[in-house]
Amino acid sequence: MAQSPLHFQNLRLAVPRGNLLAPTLDLLERVGFDVGEVRANDRKLIFEVGEGRTIVTTRPSDVPTYVEYGAADAGFVGKDVLLEHRRNVYELLDLGYGACRVVYATPEGRAPEEEELRPLGVMRVASRYPNITRNYFERLGKQVEVIELHGSIELAPQVDLAESIVDLTSSGETLRQNSLVERAEIARCSARLIANRVSHKLKAGLIDELVRRLEELTVE
212, containing H or E segment? helix 204-218
**Of residues 190, 169, 195, the one with CA closest to residue 103:** 169
CB 58 within 8 A of CB 65: no
| 172: in domain | yes
- The answer to whether residues 146 and 201 belong to one domain is no
- The answer to whether residues 108 and 43 belong to one domain is no
Residue 104, C-beta contacts closer than 8 angstroms, at least 6 positions apart: 125, 136, 164, 165, 166, 182, 183, 184, 186
- The answer to whether residues 107 and 54 belong to one domain is no
Task: Return the sign of the alpha-carbon dihedral for residues 9, 58, 40, 191.
Answer: negative
CB 120 within 8 A of CB 99: no
- The answer to whether residues 90 and 125 belong to one domain is no
Q: What is the pLDDT along the chain (220 residues), one digit of tens a residue?
A: 445 455 546 899 999 999 999 999 999 999 989 999 999 998 999 999 888 899 999 999 999 999 999 999 999 999 999 999 999 999 999 999 999 999 999 999 877 666 555 555 688 999 999 999 999 999 998 889 999 999 899 999 999 999 999 999 998 899 999 999 999 999 999 999 999 999 999 999 999 999 999 999 876 5
